[in-house]
Amino acid sequence: MRPAETRNGATSRQDKTKLAGAGALLAAALVLTVRGDPTPEQRWAWTTPDVKRAVEDRTMFVDPAEVVALRKDLNVFNEATGS
Protein backbone atom coordinates (compact mmCIF):
# COMPACT_ATOMS: atom_id res chain seq x y z
CA MET A 1 0.00 0.00 0.00
CA ARG A 2 1.38 3.38 -0.98
CA PRO A 3 1.47 6.15 1.65
CA ALA A 4 -0.97 8.40 -0.28
CA GLU A 5 -3.74 5.79 -0.15
CA THR A 6 -5.89 4.54 2.67
CA ARG A 7 -7.18 0.99 3.00
CA ASN A 8 -10.24 1.55 0.81
CA GLY A 9 -8.18 3.18 -1.97
CA ALA A 10 -9.29 6.77 -1.33
CA THR A 11 -6.49 9.26 -1.46
CA SER A 12 -5.80 11.67 1.32
CA ARG A 13 -6.79 14.49 -1.06
CA GLN A 14 -10.29 13.00 -1.37
CA ASP A 15 -10.46 12.65 2.39
CA LYS A 16 -9.50 16.30 2.86
CA THR A 17 -12.12 17.39 0.33
CA LYS A 18 -14.82 15.41 2.12
CA LEU A 19 -13.72 16.79 5.46
CA ALA A 20 -13.77 20.36 4.11
CA GLY A 21 -17.27 19.81 2.69
CA ALA A 22 -18.51 18.41 5.98
CA GLY A 23 -17.00 21.38 7.80
CA ALA A 24 -18.72 23.82 5.44
CA LEU A 25 -22.09 22.13 6.00
CA LEU A 26 -21.55 22.19 9.75
CA ALA A 27 -20.67 25.89 9.64
CA ALA A 28 -23.79 26.66 7.60
CA ALA A 29 -25.94 24.71 10.04
CA LEU A 30 -24.46 26.60 12.97
CA VAL A 31 -25.08 29.96 11.31
CA LEU A 32 -28.70 29.04 10.61
CA THR A 33 -29.16 27.76 14.15
CA VAL A 34 -27.73 30.89 15.77
CA ARG A 35 -29.47 33.32 13.43
CA GLY A 36 -32.85 31.57 13.59
CA ASP A 37 -36.05 32.23 11.66
CA PRO A 38 -37.14 35.78 10.90
CA THR A 39 -39.93 37.21 12.99
CA PRO A 40 -43.31 37.99 11.39
CA GLU A 41 -42.42 41.69 11.59
CA GLN A 42 -39.20 41.09 9.63
CA ARG A 43 -41.05 39.09 6.99
CA TRP A 44 -43.68 41.84 6.67
CA ALA A 45 -40.90 44.41 6.20
CA TRP A 46 -39.48 42.34 3.30
CA THR A 47 -42.87 42.16 1.57
CA THR A 48 -43.33 44.31 -1.53
CA PRO A 49 -45.92 47.12 -1.48
CA ASP A 50 -48.26 45.44 -3.99
CA VAL A 51 -48.46 42.29 -1.85
CA LYS A 52 -49.05 44.39 1.28
CA ARG A 53 -51.88 46.19 -0.52
CA ALA A 54 -53.47 42.87 -1.58
CA VAL A 55 -53.34 41.58 2.01
CA GLU A 56 -54.75 44.78 3.47
CA ASP A 57 -57.57 44.84 0.87
CA ARG A 58 -58.14 41.10 1.46
CA THR A 59 -58.14 40.49 -2.30
CA MET A 60 -55.92 37.44 -1.96
CA PHE A 61 -58.26 35.62 0.42
CA VAL A 62 -60.96 33.17 -0.66
CA ASP A 63 -64.35 32.85 1.00
CA PRO A 64 -64.78 29.39 2.59
CA ALA A 65 -68.18 28.93 0.91
CA GLU A 66 -66.50 29.44 -2.47
CA VAL A 67 -64.04 26.66 -1.70
CA VAL A 68 -66.86 24.28 -0.76
CA ALA A 69 -68.72 25.09 -3.97
CA LEU A 70 -65.61 24.55 -6.08
CA ARG A 71 -64.89 21.20 -4.43
CA LYS A 72 -68.40 19.99 -5.26
CA ASP A 73 -68.17 21.16 -8.89
CA LEU A 74 -66.63 18.30 -10.87
CA ASN A 75 -66.34 20.43 -14.00
CA VAL A 76 -63.64 22.56 -12.37
CA PHE A 77 -61.27 19.61 -12.33
CA ASN A 78 -62.10 18.63 -15.91
CA GLU A 79 -61.55 22.18 -17.19
CA ALA A 80 -58.24 22.48 -15.35
CA THR A 81 -56.85 19.25 -16.79
CA GLY A 82 -58.30 19.69 -20.26
CA SER A 83 -60.29 16.46 -20.04
CA distances from 8 to 4, 13, 14, 20, 23 (A): 12, 14, 12, 19, 22
**Among 6, 3, 32, which Cα is nearest to 19's?**
6
Q: 81: helix, coil or strand?
A: helix
Q: Which of 33-37, 74-78, 79-83 has the highest mean pLDDT?
A: 33-37
pTM: 0.38
53-79: average pLDDT = 82
